[in-house]
Amino acid sequence: MMAEAAKLLARSKFAIAFTGAGISAESGVPTFRGKDGLWMRYRPEELATPEAFSRNPRLVWDFYKWRMKLIAKARPNRAHYALAKLEEMGILKAVITQNVDDLHREAGTKNLIELHGNIFRVRCTSCDYRENLKESCSLEEFLREELPKCPNCGSLLRPDVVWFGEPLPEEELSEAFKLARRADLILVIGTSGLVYPAAYIPYIVKENGGIVIEINVEESALTPIADIFLRGKAGEVMGTLLEEVKKILD
Ligand code: APR
Ligand code: ZN
């Protein structure tokens, strides 16, 4: 299977990747629905909905600040670096991610579409103020604030991520669908494939005659449409896949 996957990837004309929380598991970032997943420990309706935020913004901010601290300590793993390398080699045209952890960007991926936002970005609940706390190097200071307020208008700031029941950012979603219609191969890495509209992306590639290669430690809701299923940890499998592709292209 690995040799077949490498051959198909090396010969692809327009390959893309679609990633979920599983790709960052080896970096120490908890998944959502896995054994110790966040939604196994906490109730998403109390922490990741606009209603929860208006009901108890302090509780929601405590949760996101805890995740920000945890993710700020995490480093990309071999899977993130392998995707960045495949892009550099001209094989991978884009990475579409459901993750908010910024690890693809840190690993060097250039054409990155973040469908669910980014945990290091904040925006105002009233005016159009936005800030990337990593770029403004104010993460430490920000994490000390109990209830972050907008420097422009004084209203509450919120994490610039997509909560349950909220629409995805239009530009990113239409760009992702456009790429999926064009792709002749998609790597589906570390996602349960249960959350829509993101999970439509591999189906769009399939419907347009593209090849679906899935990498996961266990079968997911997307495995039935996978042409090749590579069972294993993303870092290990992607590390090997990259080496195999390099051998073919050498
Ligand atoms: N390597 C590969 N796959 C892994 C690994 C690993 N090391 N560890 C776990 N997985 C797989 C799990 O088997 C599971 O299929 O990753 C998947 C993680 O699934 P979820 O926790 O459901 O995460 P994801 O699919 O990204 O969730 C989608 O749901 O909660 C919302 O907005 C949030 O973006 C998120 C969306
Ligand atoms: Zn404001």
| pLDDT tens-digit map of 197-216 | 999 999 999 999 999 999 99
Task: Using the 3D structure, point to which of 161, 191, 221 is the last residue of a domain.
Answer: 161
In the three-class reduction of DSSP (H, G, I as helix; E, B as strand; rest coil), residue 105 is classed as helix
Per-residue pLDDT, 37: 82
Q: What is the pTM of this model?
A: 0.97
Task: Using the 3D structure, point to which of 161, 187, 222 is the last residue of a domain.
Answer: 161
Instruction: Please give the Cα distance from 154 to 135 (Å, whole number).
Output: 21
Atom of ligand 1 nearest to the CA of 115: 34
Q: Which residues of 31-57 are buried (b: 16+ CB within 10 A; e: fewer)?
A: bbbbeeebeeeeeeeebbbeebbeeeb
229, 194: one domain? yes
In this structure, the residue with its CA closest to atom 25 of ligand 1 is 191
Per-residue pLDDT, 173: 98
Per-residue pLDDT, 33: 87
Q: In degrees rounded to 5, what are phi and psi of residue 161?
A: -125, 165
Instruction: Please give the Cα distance from 53 to 57 (Å, whole number).
Output: 5
131, 222: one domain? no
Per-residue pLDDT, 68: 96
- The one catalytic residue in 65, 80, 104, 116 is 116
Per-residue pLDDT, 127: 97
List, as one string, the DSSP characters of 134-165: TTTT-HHHHHH-SS-B-TTT-PBEEEEEPPTT
As for how many domains the chain has, the answer is: 2
143, 228: one domain? no
Residue span of the structural domain in which 88 resides: 1-28+76-116+168-250
Tell me which residues of the chain have a pLDDT lower than 50. Answer: none
Per-residue pLDDT, 41: 80
